[in-house]
Copies of this chain bind each other. A is one copy, B any other.
Amino acid sequence: MEKKERKIMVAVDESEESMFALSWSITNLISDTNNNSKLLLLYVKPPSAVYSLDSAGYIFSNETIHALQKYSTELATSVMKRAEAICTNFDATNIKIEKVVGTGDAKNVICSATKKLEADTLVMGSHGYGFFKRALLGSVSDHCVKYAKCPVVIVKQP
């Protein structure tokens, strides 16, 4: 019997933990061959405003801001490539994958994305958002557990 398509959103970032969360999702939520699931890979880039003033109060030059923006875009590409490689490793050829890159405060972008893209489940690491995390106040996963409407899986690296 064909099951209704389920959308599993995995919030990926440059952390090992988020890649582990992705593997966990494939093993535990998608591995079933009779499984009509779509994997939504979501990466959130920080808003540019984050670069212009760092947490210690330094104001960066335009060149630095430009370099950081470039780095951020490259990081997004690199994280997505790594995530796709993990999916390929699972020999999960029947998994439909959709890549989504958002920009903004990760916790808000992730919660809105679950709603907008009608995710059935959100999976994420417990820490995450490595490089830029100093700039983002509070825990992303705490916020998502509280405010995302769908079930949220918080995965910790063992």
Seen from chain A, the residues whose Cβ lies within 8 Å of a Cβ on chain B are 6, 21, 24, 28-29, 31-32, 34-35, 121, 126, 141-142, 145, 149-156, 158
Contacts and interface: CB of A to CB of B under 8 A. Distances in A.
A5 to B, nearest CB: 13
Contacts of A145: 126, 141-142, 145, 154
User: How many identical subunits does the complex contain?
Assistant: 2
* A contact face: mostly helix, strand, loop, or mixed: mixed
Contact of A149 (B34, B149, B158): B158
A151 B35 CA distance: 21
Nearest to A152: B154
29 contacts: A6-B28, A21-B151, A24-B151, A28-B29, A28-B121, A28-B151, A29-B29, A31-B32, A32-B32, A32-B34, A32-B35, A126-B145, A141-B145, A142-B142, A142-B145, A145-B145, A145-B154, A149-B156, A149-B158, A150-B156, A151-B153, A151-B154, A151-B155, A151-B156, A152-B153, A152-B154, A153-B153, A153-B154, A154-B154
